Amino acid sequence: MIFKTPAIRLSIALALLIVNLLIVADQIGLIPDASESALELRKGLSESLALQFASAAEKGELNTIRNTLRAVVERNKDIRSAAIRTDNGNLIALVGEHLAHWKPPVDGKSTPTHVHVPVYRNDEKWATVEIRFAPFWSGNTGIVLASSFVELLIFIGLSSFICYFLVIKRTLRELDPTAVIPKRVQKAFDALHEGVLILDKDEQIVMANHSFAALFGKSPETMLGLKGSELGWLNCKTSEQVRQLPWLRVLQDGREHIGASLSLLDNQGRKIKLAVNVTVLTDNAGSSRGTLLTFDDITQLEEKNFELNNMLEKLQSANDEIQVKSQELETLANRDPLTLCLNRRSLAQYFDELFTQAKADGGHLSCMMLDIDFFKSVNDRFGHATGDQVIKAVADVLKTCTRETDLVGRYGGEEFCVVLPTLALDTAVKIAERIRQAIEKSSCSGVKITASLGVAAIESNANTPDELINQADKALYAAKKSGRNRVIIWGQDSDAVADVESGPETQEPVVQPGQSTPMDTDQAQLQRRVVELEGLLEKRTLEIEHYEMYDLKTGLPTRSLFEDRIAHEIARAKRKNYLVAVLSLTIDTIKRIHETIGRKVAGQLVKACGHRLNVVIRENIDTVAVFDNVKGMSTVSLINEMEFGILLTDIQQVDHVTWVMKRLLDSFDKPFTINGHEIYTSAYFGVSIFPHDGQTVEALYSSATNACSYAQKLNGNDRYLFASEDLNNKAANQLKIENSLHEAIENDELQLHYQPKIDSATQQIAGFEALLRWQSGRLGFVPPDKFIPVAEQAGLIDRIGDWVIYTACRQLRSWMDSGLAVKPIAVNISGVQLRQQNLASRIAHILDEFNIDRSLLEIELTESSLITTDDKPYAVLNQIKDMGIRVTMDDFGTGYSSLSYLRKIPLSCLKIDRSFISDLNKNENADKLVASIVSMAHELGLDVVAEGVEEKHQADHLVALGCEYLQGYYFSRPVPHDEVVDMLQKQPMALAS
């Protein structure tokens, strides 16, 4: 229909708008009222008749009056009827149906249809002319059209419609996007498989081909005029992401953009990935008029690439496995499986190459042969498993004492061959002596061993590698004949060669200088044999004692040594007033492994468990931090194949045992990999504490094993039990706190309250202390003294500490932005945080982020946080002080008060603990202590803050002592941040209610 044309619709709408504006203008009086003008005309006519009738009345011409009135009514279509009425109501003249339709005005005033005018005769009112006019508006259309105002509206409406229609039609023709792109060009673009889009300078679409419109399930015409950035691109929500759209970047820098990637959801909800190329469209003058975009659907290509990458990764993984297997096969072919040294075949191959090169270059080359002394007796006494361990230990010594370029091979049994390229004989001898001494000092599974070595060099006129090895082997034989545990050099003395080649009738070989020379007589040989046997007896005695104390397979202390150490630590704890914890650990998985996979794997699992326990106990930073004496703090022992015993010493609080035990339990959540088997274990702990659960070794160990057995029967989630029920509840509560703390920051459960510090001289607020509060969704309100130690031991204190500093600085910035005169805020720092070397830089970063002056942040720390064996905390505090941040020692007098710490710490202020303040004026010693602390602080140039001020007499006493700042409930409780504003506006401080 014709009304569907945009030009007609817009023209009608604008014409109606103009007509409505005229009507509104008429209603508010901006257009003159035609009825008032007509009323004035009617009044004028009536008054004119009244004047004529007054003149005729004075002359007594009543007929003239009647005739005139009749003529006026008949000639004027607007006058319906008329009459002349005297004051007493008599009608002098009457024309038309006047009596039936005349309505006298109520207020005596004329109306547009009923006009009455008085007639005077001889200056006295004689009668009244009554004229009834037709209404201005009647119900028929002809009268409406006859109205001047309606005619005006019709004229303006029609004329504005015609004008608007012509203008809009021309404008739309000029602005029609389809006119920008000829139809033949549109059809050419529609034939393309890739999407094509043309945008103007305002990124509005002036052309879209069918391929692009189909992505959105629309026709090209419906997309005209839309903005390119408003088409629903994925990951394009923020203003910064919008600015990175390729066509906007091209419009900004004027350079084409190739290979951009965008994603969107098509009309079926599938994710489509498009490759976008953008170029600039310019006019003849070279000015930018818009952009041309092409879109390639690369969704399937991406999927294929993804599949291809997966295939490549699998191929790479398979290739890596092949490489590993190849290396394993090469190792099996070239290496001894026990020691991973070169086997005899590969040693000969590499040795031949080095020998040939040395002969050709005239360089040095040395060879040594090594044999383990009395190795047969090791196998006979301790078994072949121990013999294998001895051979591996000797191989490790050889690898340690030689270079990577040297050849170390197992020549057979307990015999080794070492080839030293580029080394002369004297250097080779030094290396051989170093190897001999290292083997003599080492101990393998408690077995003391020695070795004999023979050394030869290419300078001894050896013509082949086999000949050089034979010379070194003969020197080794001479070393074994001459008493063992020594180094013999081939070719240095002709007697040595003669002795080896001729037998026992010749002289003994020459030995390395520094070794004793063998005696030639039988008596000397016998005496040397006796000494050798005595040494062997002593060695065997030590080995027996060692195996009574240490397990042969794992090297861990046995039960006898474990109980001996418990007794020693009980006696020591009584003197030092420390706690001792005995932990019994049972791993029932070991039994199942023994029954299913075999004894060998079970033994290896026991050894792996012992190693993991030692690693956690000795190397975990969080664990070590809870003990004073790190060196003697723990012992891991093997009680039997399924049970371990753990001894923890120098414990200050029972809580610390919980943290250690949790770390141990967590370590067993990881599987063990043994001989290709991935084994998960179930560990159960029982814990007894000296002196709470026993005073003797038997009582403590029995309590721990009973608790462990009961924990195993319960088979609960905790997997541990204390011998004391109270300690069990306490440990469980601590673990609940730790688990909830992990979610506290994410769930916005932490908040800061602020308690003011009052300047004692002015009674004005001098600053605030930020106090951490935790309202847990699971546990309710948790006091700081309950969760802060947990956070320290769980490794969460750094994160929470950063949150406190960040929140306090953010609040400072908020107050500053609102125009408040802010005061410094003091935050508390944990001793654990002070061990972090980057603490000062983290604080500086937060201050810079909020543009906070350094003087508006203060650091408070306790004395106990500085008790450490190193100076790291002092270095961190010096960095903080150098930044211009004040450092305050909190709770002074309650920790390890030592004046040496005051000398080391870069303090600005001391805070007297509340326990001293509460006894003021009640305890004479407390009064003296507080006075001494204040005096000492002033002598050191430090300010003094008294916390815990709750009564007026305390405040007065502290002011008299010269204490600069007061803090406590007497002035205010800690309040949320929104109450601080009112507090700052009510200074000086009123007493807290």
Q: DSSP state, 739?
A: H
Q: Which of 130, 414, 792, 858 is catalytic?
A: 414
Greatest alpha-carbon pair distance for the chain in Å reads: 198
**What ranges in 621-768 are assigned the alpha helix state H?**
621-624, 655-667, 697-714, 725-744
Q: Are 587 and 718 in contact (CB under 8 A)?
A: no
pLDDT at 768: 94
Neighbours of 575 (CB within 10 A): 7
Query: Distance between CA 445 and CA 377 in Å, rounded?
Result: 15
| E-assigned strand segments in 577-661 | 579-587, 634-638, 643-651
- Residue 364's contacts (CB-CB under 8 Å, 6 or more residues apart) are 358, 421, 422, 423, 424, 425, 457, 458, 459
Predicted pLDDT at 515: 43
Q: Is the dihedral of CA 480, 485, 489, 493 positive or negative?
A: negative
- Whole-angstrom Cα distance, residue 226 to residue 203? 8
Q: Which residues of the chain have pLDDT under 70?
A: 1-5, 29-37, 136-148, 172-182, 444-446, 493-525, 527-529, 531-532, 534-536, 538-548, 619-634, 715-718, 725-732, 793, 863-871, 894-901, 987-993
Sign of CA dihedral 688, 693, 694, 698: negative
> For the residues of 109-144, what is the DSSP string, one character each?
---SSEEEEEEEETTEEEEEEEEEEPPSS-SSHHHH
Q: Residue 720: which of 692, 682, 693, 690 has the closest Cα?
A: 682
Concerning whether 414 is annotated as a catalytic residue, the answer is yes
Q: Any bridge partners for residue 9, and if so which?
A: none
10 Å Cβ neighbour count for 50? 20
Amino acid at 684: Y
Q: Residue 59 has what pLDDT?
A: 80
The DSSP code sequence of 468-481 is HHHHHHHHHHHHHH
User: What are all long-range contacts of 400-405, with beta carbons under 8 Å and residues at least 24 apart?
Assistant: 400/438, 401/431, 401/434, 401/435, 401/438, 402/431
CA distances (Å), origin 174, targets 185, 207, 329: 18, 16, 82
**Burial of 332 (C-beta count, 10 Å sphere; 0-12/13-18/19+):** exposed
CA 599 vs. chain centroid, Å, equals 46
CA atoms within 13 A on the CB side of 728: 16
Q: Please state, in angstroms and rounded to a whole number, the distance separating the CA atoms of residues 842 and 857.
A: 13
Dihedral sign for Cα atoms in the order 108, 110, 116, 120: positive
Beta bridge partners of 586: 643, 684
Are the beta carbons of 872 and 837 closer than 8 angstroms?
yes
The helix (H) or strand (E) run that includes residue 434 is helix 425-441
Q: Residue 710: which residues within 8 A CB-CB, separation 6 or more?
A: 686, 721
